[in-house]
């Protein structure tokens, strides 16, 4: 069973390194299709380490037959929990995001902290629902990014372009 691990300092600047590590490992193992959802999940977990635990943390990736398991171990005994925030809050959505992409996730206490882990199906595309978007949805999305600022339907008009 292939595995890899990397220990990083508990700083926000370590989050991109954790993400790159996971993507690189999965790419080398021939599983690039799962790199993005795994990196997204580890970004949230590593971000929580930097924000809440403030300890060094270890990122581990394990490839099992049907599952990729990503673990983040830190030195804080505080267990993660989902919180409810206002719609305009800039925090509080990470665990919901992890829950959306992971097949399973959890937290295991350790004598000197905890391990938060996520499991993703080894053939995952990053979506729990593998349906292709319909053409109407794609057209609506593209229309929202009109390149001509004079034809925007944005509620704030061209104010968003003002310097």
Q: What is the pLDDT of residues 17-27, one digit of tens each?
A: 999 999 999 99
The reported pLDDT for the residue numbered 98 is 81
The reported pLDDT for the residue numbered 147 is 47
Mean pLDDT of all residues in 131-138: 43
Domain boundaries, the chain: 3-121
Tokens of 86: 């206002």
The reported pLDDT for the residue numbered 122 is 81
Quick count: other Cβ atoms within 10 Å of Cβ 83? 12
Mean pLDDT of all residues in 54-74: 94
The distance of Cα 153 from the centroid of its chain, to the nearest Å, equals 31
The reported pLDDT for the residue numbered 127 is 42
The reported pLDDT for the residue numbered 79 is 86
The reported pLDDT for the residue numbered 107 is 94
Say which residue, 62 or 87, is predicted with more confidence: 62
* Mean pLDDT taken over the chain: 77
The reported pLDDT for the residue numbered 148 is 46
- Under CATH, to which class is 3-121 assigned? alpha beta
Task: Tell me the HSE value of 85 on the side-chain side, using a 13 A CA sphere.
Answer: 13
For CA atoms 95, 127, 6, 66, give the dihedral sign.
positive
The reported pLDDT for the residue numbered 141 is 44
pLDDT tens readout for residues 65-121: 889 999 999 999 988 766 665 666 555 556 777 888 889 999 999 999 999 999 999
* pLDDT at residue 125 greater than cutoff 50: no
Please report the DSSP string for 35-88 in residue order: HHHHHHHHHHHHHHIIIII-S-EEEEEEE-SSEEEEEEEES--PPP------TT
Say which residue, 81 or 11, is predicted with more confidence: 11
Say which residue, 3 or 160, is predicted with more confidence: 3
């Amino acid at each position: 069973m292939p595995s890899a691990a990397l220990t990083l300092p508990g700083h926000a600047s370590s989050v991109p390194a954790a993400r790159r590590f996971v993507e690189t490992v999965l790419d080398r193992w021939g599983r690039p299709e799962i790199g993005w959802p795994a990196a997204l999940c580890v970004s949230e977990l590593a971000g929580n380490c930097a924000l809440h635990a403030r300890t060094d943390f270890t990122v581990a990736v394990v490839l099992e037959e049907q599952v990729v398991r990503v673990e983040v171990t830190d030195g804080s005994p505080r267990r993660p929990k989902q919180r409810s925030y206002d719609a305009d809050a800039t925090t509080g959505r990470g665990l919901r995001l992890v829950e959306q992409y992971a097949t399973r996730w959890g937290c295991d206490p350790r004598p000197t902290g905890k391990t938060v882990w996520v499991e993703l199906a080894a053939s995952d595309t990053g979506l729990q629902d593998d349906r292709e978007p319909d053409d109407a949805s794609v057209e609506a999305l593209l229309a929202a990014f009109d390149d001509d600022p004079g034809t925007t339907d944005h509620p704030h008009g061209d104010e968003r372009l003002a310097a």
